[in-house]
Amino acid sequence: MNILKSKVVIIGAGNVGVSTAFCLINQGLCDEIALIDLNQEKAFGEVLDLSQSMEYMNRNTAVKVGTYDDCRDASIVIITASVPVHNARNDRLKMLEPTKKVMRTIVTEIMKSGFDGHLIVVSNPVDVMTYYAYKISGLPARQVIGSGTTLDTARLKYFIAQKIDVDPRSVHALVIGEHGDSEMIPWSTVRIGGKDIYSVVRDNEARIGKDPYDEMKAETIKAGWEIFNRKGNTCYGIASSTVGIVKTILHNENRILPVSTLLQGEYGHDDLYISVPTIIDRTGAKEIVELDMTDEEFKEFNQSCEHLKSFYDCLDD
């Protein structure tokens, strides 16, 4: 009898990588986790710490220090490794050149192993790096997914929920476009308990103001830096967002998430990785959902697309 196991490899044992590993263990989503990092002593320490937490988890997940050979039979490889951010005012896209070199090395080693699973890219600038990983890996586009605006969407829902005083999970909203300053919110699609956001604002003007949209968008965009400036990193939000993608794949959920995926004519764009609502199942990014947006929203989304495309020339070696 051949019993298949689910194995996740995480490349990068920094705050994001280790938080992702802990989130996977806490939710009991896979049989085995391999943690790869240039600093093997750091990786070993994290593996010991994670392994010794197992007594109080729902299942005994095997955790080990990995090598790139572990990618060969992995269901999912998550890339969190990136260059350090020293200045919170830096645009994520300024990290492009140094991160590109790191990404090429990592993806080349992954593919040498014979890997043919799902590649989830978290490293910033995530949309450009996911496109780059897709190009150099040779994997089908549906198997290469960027974390994109999954976290931005969670943050937006949090800010809306705070203003209205409801559970964020009762808010149905999306942030799409670049994971960065050009991201946009198609407000015309936002619903709270089935009620459109404009009606909710109109009926609760005394509590949340007459026109809170720009404020909530600004809060969403700067949320990561608000955390970074206080604690020096962000890890829990992006880890839970990444594990949300992993869970959707491993459990074949057909859940719609705003991930960075390849547009091939959708929304009028081609050969572009950007965040749009996407149906995800065990095959990966199964189908893109094309939103019915207003003309102004389409214009804003197109601007985000063109902004990202302008960096593709920098990827040529």
Parallel, antiparallel or unpaired: strands 32-36 and 62-65: parallel
Can you read off the two tokens belonging to residue 220?
A: 């969403």
Nearest to 291 by CA among 308, 274, 314: 274
Q: Would you please indicate which residues are annotated as catalytic (active-site) residues?
A: 179
Alpha-carbon Rg for the chain in angstroms: 19
